[in-house]
Structure 1
Amino acid sequence: YCGEALNDIAFEVTTKWTIREDGKLVCESKIKPSGTKIELARIGYHFVLDTKGPEVEYFGAGPYENYRDRKSGAFLGRYCLKAKDFYFPYARNQESGNREDVREITFKTESGSLNFASLGKPFAICVNPYSPLELIEYTHPPELPPSGKTEFGIYAETRGLGGESCGPPPMQRDIIDTARSYSLSFTIVPLK
């Protein structure tokens, strides 16, 4: 699929979905952004899970929120917390809950579990009870409506934070290079 250019932004995405004999769903993607004046926050997939508050277990950098340029204090390990606990109520709403270098993540509910595992390079994840649009629409945490869902992103690349808003932007190495393609491969497995 080659996305239609909007404001000089387009994506060429090639995705192959395979169902293996063992029941695993395999996603293999190549994502190529294009545009001369774009700065992307991340490249990957966004899912909405129709369940609130699942327990989340992941193997990656943690235990706290981290980004590609802010993870020196994060340690590779297995962490377990509620999905709602990825969200941090900053004074003004903004996305939170990012974790880098993730190899595997499992969402556990009373009715079963759903596992995502890397097939190559580790990915970044973001778990949040609110959509990015809700975080923009409602300025402060107390204004957010109750959530009955879990928003989940799995990303080939994420942009660093730099020292903004009161400092320099991310270093060039921590900004997504729109002149190259990105790969993202993972399995999805429902578990009992």
Structure 2
Amino acid sequence: EALPDAITHAAQAMVSSLLNGNKILCCGNGGSATNSQQFVSCLLNRFETERPSLPAMALTADNTTLTAVANDYHYQEIFSKQVRAFGQPGDILLAISTSGNSKNVTKAMEAAVTRDMTIIALTGKDGGEMAGLLGENDVEIRIPSHRTARIHEVHMVTLHCLCDLIDQVLFPAHEE
């Protein structure tokens, strides 16, 4: 019952940000990194219908940056340094973690707060540390499961729902 409301609220926040000329930054580890990159691909390219590209960036995609930051600083900083470099007030950080406790993702969330960004957190289990970092304008979409594989699967479906809702609002003439 809470999932549809959270997904709708997250989509509305993304649409508002995009309409104001902002962008969506995404991060996660492992399967969550895969989900992050798939979501960005759907925004930059298209989801189900032809439409203009939307500004989104997967903070997981640049291996040179990731390994340089991990080597020179700490793995926990791989996303937060990028958020501080690219994030602007009004942008969205889509932070994905099945446990809600990925330290590099929570550090990215902390950096997003300093950049006056809205955070949308995709979590599972009990929401972990990420749930406690959210402000009143942020959104948590928590999958009520303790099984990592199921959480990843529902995260992907959730991300497709977000793509669909964004497209419906921004490009109603493109609907089939």
Q: Same fold, TM exceeding 0.5? A: no
TM-score, length of structure 2 as denominator length: 0.27
TM-score, length of structure 1 as denominator length: 0.25
Larger C-alpha radius of gyration, 1 or 2?
A: 1
Which structure carries more strand by proportion? 1
- Structure number with higher relative contact order (C-alpha < 8 Å, ≥ 6 residues apart): 1
Which structure carries more helix by proportion? 2
